[in-house]
Structure 1
Amino acid sequence: MARQAGRGRVILGSMSSTKVDALRQVPLFANSTRADLEFLATRIDEVEVEAGRTLIRQGSSSDSFYLLLDGEAEVEVDGRARPALGPGRFFGEISMLDRGPATATVVTKTPVRLMVMSHAQFRDAIKASDQLLSHVLRVAADRLRRDDMERHTK
């Protein structure tokens, strides 16, 4: 299933070991089995997006989970810059978990290569992997806790 996300160019091709190899390099999937990665590769799209594109806008609905393979993205929460995201980082998970509005704005700083999942694809992936769900929840909780602490220390 190929689709376009983040106004990028969809990279077409067979579900090859290239996707599996790319997923294996991401810390989120470091302990996943090859079978889990192959399953995930069938539920994720790979796209390239030029610099300066907004992928997620804080307060807007978001229907995608993003996994950054190459390039950098800038993050802003409540008008304040956050640390940039680089290869191996992911975002959009909070909206995937609760279907609420995006909690940050993410803009590509450089051309990027991403793997993108729709809500349905994300739901299928986390249903199939307790490990993936646990890790995504842990990272989401850490991000929310850090943002909450920063708000209270202003």
Structure 2
Amino acid sequence: MSDTTDRADFQKVFPQLFTRLSKDGAEHLMQNVSRVDFHPGRNVFRDRMPTDAVYFVLSGEAEIFVEKDDRTVPLGKIGAGALLGEISVLSREMIASSTVQASQRMSTFKLMHQPLEGLLMSDDTGPALLELFSETLASRLRATAPA
């Protein structure tokens, strides 16, 4: 659970989520997240490894890459406002689809898969979270589509 300052930080960085949540929905979400900070060089996820949470990035930056044929293939960078781990939830595989490594100190809210499942099934949080996940995926597809 997080405090009032954490909620204000979360709401500031993810306004699109909080405008869709009722007061009860926002409270329900905040009861299930915890702040996790990552120092530069620390992995949030490793490509093709099990994962058990999604992360809402509040500040900082991370590099994203995949391992392919004994090579590291950079995919880009993310910063505040990014959502990490939604693919593992939506695919129900619970496996990371890339490596995410903090390149500077990064502050996140972590939402474990088990409480997330309950939030996704709830009328006061599910639609807003699914909309955020869908928008995140659509944005990534547009960014990687050939011109």
* Shared fold, TM over 0.5: yes
Q: Say which structure is richer in strand.
A: 2
Match of 1:58 in 2: 47
**8 Å contact from structure 2 (residues 62, 102) kept in 1:** yes
**1:141, 1:96 → 2: CA distance?**
16
Match of 2:118 in 1: 124
**2:141, 2:34 → 1: CA distance?**
27
> What's the TM-score once normalised by structure 2's chain length?
0.80
Instruction: Between the two structures, name the one with larger relative contact order (CA 8 Å, sep ≥ 6).
Output: 2
Match of 1:99 in 2: 92
Find 1:114's aligned residue among 94, 108, 114.
Answer: 108
Find 2:17's aligned residue among 9, 29, 33.
Answer: 29
Unaligned runs of 5+ in 1: 1-13
Unaligned runs of 5+ in 2: none
Identity %: 25
Tell me, yes or no, if structure 1 residue 133 matches structure 2 residue 91: no
Between the two proteins, the alignment pairs up a number of residues equal to 137
> What's the TM-score once normalised by structure 1's chain length?
0.77
CA-atom RMSD in angstroms: 2.2
- Of residues 77-86 and 48-57 in structure 1, the stretch that sits farther from structure 2 once superposed is 77-86
- Of residues 138-147 and 66-75 in structure 1, the stretch that sits farther from structure 2 once superposed is 138-147
- 1:15 is displaced (CA, Å) by 3.7
- 1:43 is displaced (CA, Å) by 0.5
